[in-house]
Structures are given as structure tokens and as C-alpha cells.
Amino acid sequence: MVSLMSRYSRFPLIAVALSIGAILSPSQHVLRAQDADKPAIAPQPRTINLTQEQRFIIKENVKDLGLAKAPADAPETIGDPVPQNIELHSLPSEVAAKVSQARSHSFFIKDGNNAIVLVSPNDRRVADVIH
């Protein structure tokens, strides 16, 4: 370990990180990015691909509708299921005409950050989020 530090003196943080990893045993309680006993879970892919222009169209047509907002703790992660107690709304006809791939999706607006959450019609899961 000392030879590593002297050999790579320009990278002291890396050497310290390597030495910490070598000192800590797996049985010690350390905050880790991924638990060793659980499989890695890849993030869900988007089920709808929108351009920045399409996102803008949706946001501009939805933001002033005056709809009831979903709670601030409503799901916002792509692939997460949307609970039945969250009311979903159809996209306005102007949006459906201009953004054809979003036509069948529903949405809700989160309280707090006003995120527009698009929901897949097939499985009621978060398809995309527009901030």
C-alpha cells in the first residue's frame, strides 16, 4: 500500500480510497452504492422518446390547465408504478395533434416541483418526466 502511494503520489485521493477499501472488511456496516447481497437493478428505459421541442409543447399546453395536483411524494422515476389514488388526465387535443407518440399517454402534475409526469397507458407506469 505504501509503495502504491509513493508510486502514484500525483493521485493521493485514489491511493487513499484504495487503502480504505483494503482496510474495511465486508462485514462492517459501510454505506455502499450497491449492497453485495442484492442484484444490481438497471434503471428502466424510457417508453417514450421526446425531443426538447415536444417537451416544450407539452409543458406549455398543460401548465395552465388548473388541474388538481398529485401529492409531492407521487412517483417520478421512470418505470415506477403510479398508485390508483393518483388521478390521471388525458393530454389536451393540441398536444395529441403535435406530439403523436404521446397521444395515448396520460399525465399528472406533481405538487411542489410542478413536474409533468407522463404515464404509460398499458401498465400505468411512469413513462417520462418533464420539469
Any idea where the domains of the chain sit in the sequence?
Answer: 1-41, 52-130
Cell of 119: 404515464
Q: CATH says 52-130 is which class?
A: alpha beta
Q: How far apart (Å, rounded) are the C-alpha atoms in residues 69 and 71?
A: 7
pLDDT number for residue 34: 54
Rg (CA), the chain: 22
What does the longest C-alpha to C-alpha distance in the chain come to?
68
56-75: pLDDT as tens digits: 999 999 988 999 999 999 99
82-103: pLDDT as tens digits: 999 999 999 999 999 999 999 9
Q: In what order do the strands lie in the sheet with 126-130?
A: 89-90, 106-109, 116-119, 126-130
